[in-house]
């Protein structure tokens, strides 16, 4: 299988940080199944609607199947993006299935900023 898109995730955006950037996240989503993430510099230009099918833990090397759809993105100034641009750090919103959401909440920490941790997780779109 080949990686089509990859989004490196640092952690889930804390409520305090969300208050600062929420104006930049405007697209419709299922609030009960969505989470916002601090993501590192993107190696890809990723369109909204992209479905990721794996979560990789870079510490343990484990890869699990997951359904995650990229639905929105912004940056530290709370300005909206039309996609995830190549070369940018973003705050990206992903929507999950209920099972996927539970897994993500167990695995990925809640953090306040990009500098709170190093990249450990990756959402992968593979074919």
Q: What is the dihedral of CA 36, 24, 75, 105, to 10 degrees?
A: 0
How far is residue 15's CA from residue 115's CA, in Å, rounded to a whole number? 16
Residue range(s) defining the domain that contains residue 93: 3-126
Write down the pLDDT at residue 117: 75
How far is residue 15's CA from residue 19's CA, in Å, rounded to a whole number? 6
CATH code of residue 99: 2.40.30
Per-residue DSSP letter, 19: H
Q: What is the pTM of this model?
A: 0.91
Give the CA diameter of the chain. Answer: 39
How far is residue 49's CA from residue 28's CA, in Å, rounded to a whole number? 11
Q: pLDDT tens per residue, the chain (127 residues)? A: 899 999 999 999 999 998 888 888 887 777 789 999 999 999 999 999 999 999 999 999 999 999 999 999 998 777 889 999 999 999 999 999 998 999 999 999 999 988 877 778 999 999 9
Q: How many domains does the chain have?
A: 1
């Amino acid at each position: 299988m080949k990686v089509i898109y990859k989004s490196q995730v640092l952690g889930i955006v804390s409520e305090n940080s969300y208050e600062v950037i929420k104006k930049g996240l405007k697209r419709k989503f299922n609030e009960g199944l969505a989470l916002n993430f601090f993501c590192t510099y993107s190696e890809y230009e990723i369109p909204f609607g992209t479905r990721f099918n794996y979560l990789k833990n870079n510490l343990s090397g484990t890869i699990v199947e997951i359904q995650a759809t990229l639905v929105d993105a912004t940056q530290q100034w709370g300005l909206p993006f039309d996609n995830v641009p190549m070369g940018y750090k973003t705050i990206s919103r992903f929507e999950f299935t209920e099972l996927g959401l539970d897994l993500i909440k167990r695995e990925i920490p809640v953090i306040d900023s990009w500098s709170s941790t190093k990249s450990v997780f990756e959402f992968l779109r593979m074919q």
